[in-house]
A and B are shown apart, each in its own frame.
Chain A
Amino acid sequence: MYAFLTGPMLWLSFAICILGCAWRAYMYVKGLSWQLDRVAYGHNTDLAVKGALKSIFHWLVPFASCSWRAKPVFATAFFLLHIGLVIVPLFLYAHVMIVAERFGVSWPTMPDGLADILTILAVLAGLFILLRRFGLSEVRIITTRQDLGIMAISLAPLVTGFVAAHQHGDGNGWLLAHIITGEIWLIAVPFTKLSHAVLFFCSRAQIGIDFGTKRGGQRGSGIVW
């Protein structure tokens, strides 16, 4: 079981995630239409690249957009959640060791204590975002079951991973649960709203090109995100 989950199944999960995301990005770009979108793709490329990068940058960096600054509590929760979900797994000692053992490549890792703190903060941030969904009427009205499901899928590997790392004794139930939930998460990425892992960049680049070339970018300093 363990061998299967950490062997073929892990490979399959990563393959589905990566190829699926590439497919989503490819289909996104393929579906762009200058006439339907009313954006002159392929013209003013300098401004387009600048607009796209600016649009991504201001939203990827904490508090770099007006909207993040207008909602500091939500923005903090948002970034804590994403740091826990993306940065921590990539630089977690235990994860990097597995890669090093199997492939002989490694990269710098973060101290376990820091990883623990960031994981706890990410779970708390996720719970806060869930509570906010029910607490604020403007969020409640647009919340769907998929939004709740996605949060569950995303938090599950964090919780199970944290417990697995801290349990004593030799039962590997939590570790198995961590691997399974992690694989579910990877597989869910291309097929659910988690596809924003790539589509965020596509969508932000597109609106950046729109504002950067057509709607104002050719005059003044362009849009202020």
Chain B
Amino acid sequence: MPEGIYCNKRPITTEEELKALLSDTRGTKYYEEMLSLEVDREKLWATIQKTCKSRTQTWLDICARCGLCADSCFLYLVNDCKPEQVPSYKIQSTLGEIIRRKGDVDNAFMRHAMEVAWSQCTCCNRCAMYCPHGIDMGVMMGYTRGLLYSQGFVPWELKIGAGMHRVYRAQMDVTTEDWVETCEWMAEEQQDDWPGLEIPVDKEDADIMYTCNAREPKHYPEDLAEAAILFHIAGENWTVPSEGWEQTSLSMFAGDWEACKLQVENVYAAIERLKPKRVIGTECGHAHRATVIEGPYWAGRPDGQPPAPYIHYVQWVAEALRTGKLKIDPAKRIKQTVTYQDSCNYIRNWGLAETAREILSYLVEPGYLVEMTPNKEHNYCCGGGGGFNGIGKFRPQRNKALLTKRDQILATGAKLVIAPCHNCWDAIRDLEEEYHIHIDWSFLKPLLLKMVIVPEHLKPKDEDDGDEE
């Protein structure tokens, strides 16, 4: 059987296909079919010839096989220094081998490559900082994922995720109506506490257009309410688009470049339609990577920039604290040992390490911040990045990977981990559930709301209301 009903080389493009694949619980049949999925060798080799140019080819060719990348990889370290986890080995034995064999690889090889690409690399790019030649194995693993995806060798959840983006332009089945209704509902629900609070939809020429992660409206809409309250307190002139509000990209994790392009163009179209002065994304690492860092290239923008300045939530928070738009009540600053989880996607790969520290200087009482080792650009992945969190088939490997972050956190003695990234947040939640180290973890928004000074004119007028703590 060259192609299966569930497992095949065709991307998901309709709601029906999506529902059918979702009905295959845990991808049981999907993975069964994958066992006999045929490799289209000619197409594989043709794709490589078209897309594997001098940078990648040189990386593969001049690798000095010195092994300096080994210790840079948290998955190598946490897996008892298994030689098969050396980054150079992982890429040479997958992408390198496919190229050496000119695409002449079989089903078993591709399934193995899939396991390496999605369970032995989170595309954190840390190895790039430790390789004498500057070889970025995370970037190459991303490229390898694209090749595997095009041949149908992709974890079940990510095939679905990419399909979601193709069908709904969101990583979950949140339609435009669902989204707009959620905005209205959240604004309405806050009226007692925050009279006059709005979540303006499709307002043109606003100072800020806000984009988020579909799981926020879908699973915890209070996050959207918190964003609205903070913009309200800061007196920002902001809006959300009715279309193009979803910033994430599971298609990036899947290696479905076409879906990546569709997704990011949807956001850029909203920017062009509403013409905001700038765009602010939510507390998500990969969403920022997809829409701000890589997105411009998928959308064919040679200057590598989105249509309007596009910043991460931590940049807005730092700026609001610096300019006094948000003021922190000194009495409410964090007075317990706290640490910060540096997200690979916007710290190592977008340079916001010091911006995050600036925020902490406002939120944390001096002496209570204990940094992880290593930290900032050198920090280890949370353990669940690059799609690792969401793949059931690789859950045992993911749980093992969480040990790195668990031990880093334990070494700080922190009881609270500030993690302004959905992936990191999930990984830390899961490591607490798995290993019970008795910690709390939080996004910035709820912390800010506990500490921010609310201007008198924004408080409810009724006499009998109590002060928000």
A-side interface residues toward B, CB under 8 Å?
27-40, 42-43, 55, 59, 66-67, 70-71, 74, 78, 133, 136-144, 147, 193, 195-196, 199-200, 202-204, 206-208, 210-211, 213-225
Contacts and interface: CB of A to CB of B under 8 A. Distances in A.
B302 A34 contact: yes
B101 to A, nearest CB: 15
B426 to A, nearest CB: 23
Contacts of A55: 134
A70 B59 CA distance: 22
Interface of B: 51, 53-55, 57-59, 61-68, 70-72, 76, 81, 83-84, 86, 88-89, 92, 125, 128-136, 293-294, 296-297, 300, 302-305, 348-355, 376-378
Given A66-B129, A143-B65, A218 B53 contact: no
The 3 closest A-B pairs by CB, nearest first: A31-B54, A216-B351, A40-B304
A223 B131 CA distance: 14
Contact of B51 (A36, A203, A224): A36
Contacts of A27: 54
A218 B292 CA distance: 13
Given A33-B53, A70-B71, A204-B133, A216 B350 contact: yes
Contacts of A29: 54
A195 B60 CA distance: 13
A43 to B, nearest CB: 5
A179 to B, nearest CB: 27
Nearest to A68: B132
Scoring B58, B71, B297 by chain A CB atoms within 10 A of each residue's CB, the highest score goes to B58
A145 B81 CA distance: 23
Contacts of B133: 196, 199-200, 203-204
Nearest to A70: B71
9 contacts: A28-B58, A32-B54, A36-B51, A40-B305, A142-B88, A206-B134, A213-B304, A220-B355, A222-B351
Given A78-B132, A223-B377, 10 more contacts: A29-B54, A31-B54, A31-B55, A34-B297, A38-B304, A66-B129, A74-B68, A138-B76, A138-B81, A224-B377
B58 A202 contact: yes
Contacts of B62: 193, 195-196, 199-200, 203
Contacts of A136: 67
Contact of B352 (A196, A199, A219): A219
Nearest to A213: B304
B130 to A, nearest CB: 4
A158 B294 CA distance: 47
A142 B136 contact: no
A143 B350 CA distance: 34
Scoring A59, A67, A195, A218 by chain B CB atoms within 10 A of each residue's CB, the highest score goes to A67
B67 A206 contact: no
Given A141-B84, A219-B355, A199 B58 contact: yes
A196 B134 CA distance: 12
B246 to A, nearest CB: 21
B65 A147 contact: yes
Given A27-B54, A31-B54, A38-B297, A207 B128 contact: yes
A217 B129 CA distance: 14
A67 B133 CA distance: 11
A142 B89 contact: yes
Contacts of B68: 67, 71, 74
Contacts of B86: 138, 141-142
B83 A220 contact: no
Given A141-B84, A142-B67, A207-B136, A220 B304 contact: no
Nearest to A218: B351
A40 B67 CA distance: 30
B134 A207 contact: yes
Scoring B66, B296, B305 by chain A CB atoms within 10 A of each residue's CB, the highest score goes to B66
A224 B135 CA distance: 16
B130 A67 contact: yes
Given A219-B352, A223-B377, A74 B294 contact: no
A35 B129 contact: no
Contacts of B135: 203, 207
A81 B57 CA distance: 26
Nearest to B55: A37
B457 to A, nearest CB: 34
A59 B132 contact: yes
Contacts of B53: 31-33, 36-37
